[in-house]
Amino acid sequence: MRRVMNIAPARGSGMLLAAIPFFLIVVIYIIGSAERRAANPDDKLLPPVSEMVQTTQRLATEPDRRSGDYVLWTDTAASLRRLGLGLGISTLVGLGFGLTIGLLPIIGASFGTIVAVISMIPPMAMLPILFIVFGLGELSKVMLIIIGVAPTLIRDMSIEVQSLPREQMIKAQTLGASTWQVAIRVVLPQIMPRLIKSVRLMIGPAFLFLISAEAIASDVGLGYRIFLVRRYLSMDVILPYVAWITLLAFALDYLLGLFARKTFPWAYVEEPR
C-alpha cells in the first residue's frame, strides 16, 4: 500500500508547493487592501502594494527631509551592528563558559545552577535595572541581546559537552593530553557544529530583544522606525520593514547554515540537504 508519508514531491513541484502559501497570503492581502480602500480611500491599515513600494523606494533612495539620511540604510546599519555585536559576544560567551562548565566538574558544580537560573529570567522584566546600570545608549541594547541569548547558549553548550562519550576523554588522557589539549583538540571541534546550530536558532530571539530595546529608547534602527511611525499608523512603512527584517534574519540563518556545512561537512553526513 502506498502511504502518504512516502509521497515526496519532485524538486520542481516541491518549490511550487512552497510558493503556494506565500502566493495565497499576497492574494488575500491584496483583496483585503482593495476592500478597505474602497470603503475609505485614505485607509492606512492595509495600504496597497504599489504604495508600499513607493514608500520603500523613498526610504531607500531619497535623503530624509529633516536629517538628510537614507533612512532605510542607516536604520539597517545601526540595527545590524547592534545585532552583530550582541550575537557575536553571546556566541563567544556561550562557547567559552559552556565548554568550561561542561568539561570541568569544579566549574560545573559552582556555576551550572546559577546559569540555569539566570537563563530563566525574562530580560524584558529587568529593563529598568538595565537602563540604570547600562544607560540608554548602545551598550544597553547590546546587553539586552546578550542577557537574553547568552545564558541559553551556555546551557546548550555545556549539555553538549557533557554528552560527548566519556571514552574519548579517557582515551585522550591515556595518550597524554592535558586538560587544555582535551578542551581544544577533542571537545571544541565536536561542539562547533552544535554551536552554529544554536546560534541560528537564537537569531529570532536576538531580533526580538533588539527590536524591543530599540522601541523603548532609541534614535535610529529598524525597531525605532517601526515604533515611531506606529504612532500614526503608517503601515506602508511598517509592513516593508517587517518584510525586510524577516529577510535579514532569513539570510543570516541561511549564511550560517552554509558556513556550517562548508566548515564541518562531517556533522552533516546524515542530513539529506
Partner 1 sequence: MKRLLSFATAVAIGLGTITAASAEPKKEFNIAWTIYVGWMPWPYAAENGIVKKWADKYGITINVTQINDYVESINQYTAGKFDGVTVTNMDALTIPAAGGVDTSAIIMGDYSNGNDGVVLKKGKTLADIKGQKVNLVELSVSHYLLARGLSTVKLQEKDIKTVNTSDADIVAAAKSPDTTAVVTWNPQLLEVKADPGATEVFDSSKIPGEIEDLMVVKTETLKDNPNLAKALVGIWYETIALMKDQTEKGKAAREAMAKLSGTDLAGFEAQLKTTHMYYTPKDGAAFMTSADLPKIMDLVRSFCFEHNLLGDNVKSMDEVGIQTPTKTLGAEKNIKLRFDPSYMELAEQGKL
Query: Is 18 near partner 1 (CB under 8 A)?
Result: no
Contact 95, 157 (CB under 8 A): yes
CA–CA dist 109, 160 (Å, integer): 16
Which one among 26, 109, 121, 132 touches partner 1, defined by CB under 8 A? 132
For the chain, the farthest-separated pair of C-alpha atoms sits apart, in whole angstroms, at 79
Closest distance of CB 141 from partner 1, Å: 12
The yes or no reply on residue 217 touching partner 1 (CB under 8 A) is yes
Q: Which stretch binds partner 1 (CB under 8 A): 15-23, 84-92, 113-121, 262-270?
A: 15-23
CB atoms under 10 Å from CB of 235, counted, come to 19
**Binding residues among 145-204 for partner 1 as defined by CB under 8 A:** none
Give CA angle at 111 (107, 114), nearest 5°: 170
CA pair distance 36, 22, nearest whole angstrom = 21
**Judged by CB under 8 A, does residue 262 bind partner 1?**
no
- Closest CA relative to residue 116, chosen from 129, 131, 97, 133: 97
Radius of gyration of the chain (CA): 24
Q: Binding of partner 1 at residue 23 (CB under 8 A)?
A: no
Q: Which of residues 51-110 bind partner 1 (CB under 8 A)?
A: 55, 58, 65-66
Q: Judged by CB under 8 A, does residue 22 bind partner 1? A: no
What is the C-alpha separation between 105 and 109, in angstroms, rounded? 6
Residue 243 C-beta: closest distance to partner 1, Å: 18
Nearer residue to partner 1 within complex by CB, 227 or 268: 227
Look at residues 102, 116, 59, 132 and name the one whose alpha carbon lies nearest to residue 195. Answer: 102
The single residue among 32, 96, 204, 265 that binds partner 1, judged by CB under 8 A, is 32
Smallest CA-to-CA distance from 196 within 258, 103, 245, 273 is with 258
Grid coordinates of 43: 485607509
Q: What is the size of the binding site for partner 1 (CB under 8 A)?
A: 41
Pick the closer one to partner 1 by CB: 44 or 197.
Answer: 44
**Footprint on this chain of partner 1 (rule: CB under 8 A):** 17, 20-21, 24-25, 28, 31-32, 35-36, 39-45, 55, 58, 65-66, 127-128, 131-132, 135-137, 215-219, 224, 227-228, 230-234
